[in-house]
Chain A
Amino acid sequence: AQSVTQLGSHVSVSEGALVLLRCNYSSSVPPYLFWYVQYPNQGLQLLLKYTTGATLVKGINGFEAEFKKSETSFHLTKPSAHMSDAAEYFCAVTLREYGANSKLTFGKGITLSVRP
């Protein structure tokens, strides 16, 4: 079985500040991990994904995430927040043995607000 935990439902940062959105996963076997972003009144869009290889993954819009097996974490970061980053962010996991979109488990989501 697999699950993801996104602690808290809302994060607020100032423009230009570091963005850190936390995601912890639970799986008994190696996972594939994903971050999706949902802008207001839109569908989800893939930000980045970790499958195998390099544990630091770079995505679109300056975001990156690091897979830390020892901490079972896949936290999303961006060095400098922009007003356009305000959105809801979802972490998702599937087991590598399935490797299927139909086996994705999504977290509850975190709303990011950016203050001018």
Chain B
Amino acid sequence: NAGVTQTPKFQVLKTGQSMTLQCAQDMNHEYMSWYRQDPGMGLRLIHYSVGAGITDQGEVPNGYNVSRSTTEDFPLRLLSAAPSQTSVYFCASSYNDRALETQYFGPGTRLLVL
């Protein structure tokens, strides 16, 4: 049982480049989410999904795209990277979106945009 996995661990991009951050879970969780973590700002929700084919915006969705074609995978796409997107990105999952259900976090992807 691998839990929540994220790839890559670290990435450097140039401004304007695009890339996809991968997230997968093997716990058959319906709810998956993406957060970004910036120093002194805690975690902020980018996008989330309550099941395959269903996605919604979080607090800071601009510049990011998501899709959920399977229960297991929830990739995050940066359409045209900007230095303001330099951050640590965490994927999380839980059985459903109820706050009583524990969220499990992946190890994170560190992204540097030059």
State the A residues within 8 Å of B (CB): 9, 32, 34, 41-46, 49, 51, 90, 94, 98-104, 106-109
Q: Are A45 and B42 in contact (CB under 8 A)?
A: no
Which listed residue, B56, B100, B105, B107, touches A51 by the CB 8 Å rule?
B100
A72–B40 alpha-carbon span in the complex (Å):
22
Pick from B12-20, B68-76, B78-86, B91-99 the stretch touching chain A: B91-99
Q: Are B108 and A43 in contact (CB under 8 A)?
A: yes
Q: Report B86 CB to chain A, min CB distance, Å.
A: 17
Which listed residue, A41, A98, A99, touches B107 by the CB 8 Å rule?
A41
Could you write out 26 A-B pairs with CB less than 8 Å apart?
A34-B99, A42-B107, A42-B108, A43-B104, A43-B105, A43-B106, A44-B105, A46-B102, A46-B103, A51-B99, A90-B42, A94-B99, A98-B99, A99-B100, A100-B98, A101-B31, A101-B33, A101-B48, A101-B97, A102-B31, A102-B45, A102-B56, A102-B58, A104-B45, A106-B44, A108-B40
